[in-house]
Amino acid sequence: MNTQLATRLQARTHASARTWAVTLLGPLTTVGGLVWAFVQPWRLTLLHPHGESFWWLVIEPPLLVMLVGAGFALLVAPGLIEDLQDGEDDAAAR
C-alpha cells in the first residue's frame, strides 16, 4: 500500500473551518430565502397572480435567493472545497 496515499486520505478526515464555511454557505442561503418567503409572503406573487406576466411570477426575490443558494451548493462549492483541501494538503506537506 502506498503510504503517501494513506497519509493523504487520513489528513482529509478533519475539515477546516474554511471548508465548513464553504459547505454551509449554499444551504444557509437557501434556508434564508425560504425564511424570507415565509416572513414576507406578499412578495410571492404566485400566491396572488392578478394579471401578472410570466416573468413577474418567475422572477421573485425569495425564489431567486433559494435558486442561487442551491446553485452555489451544487455547482461552485464542490470545486472550492477540493481546492481548499488541496491547499491544506500542500501546507501540511511543507
- Residue 40, C-alpha cell as written in the block: 414576507
Give the pLDDT confidence score for residue 64 in this predicted structure: 92
Q: Helix, strand, or coil here: 21? A: helix
pLDDT number for residue 15: 76
Q: What are phi and psi of 14, to 5 degrees?
A: -110, 115
Of the candidates 28, 22, 26, 25, the residue with the CA atom closest to the CA atom of residue 83: 22
Q: Which pLDDT value is given to residue 73?
A: 96
pLDDT at 41: 83
Contacts of 80 by beta carbon, 8 Å cutoff, 6+ apart: 22
- Sites in the chain below the pLDDT cut of 70: 1-14, 45-49
- Answer whether 8's CB lies under 8 Å from 89's CB: yes
pLDDT of residue 91: 79
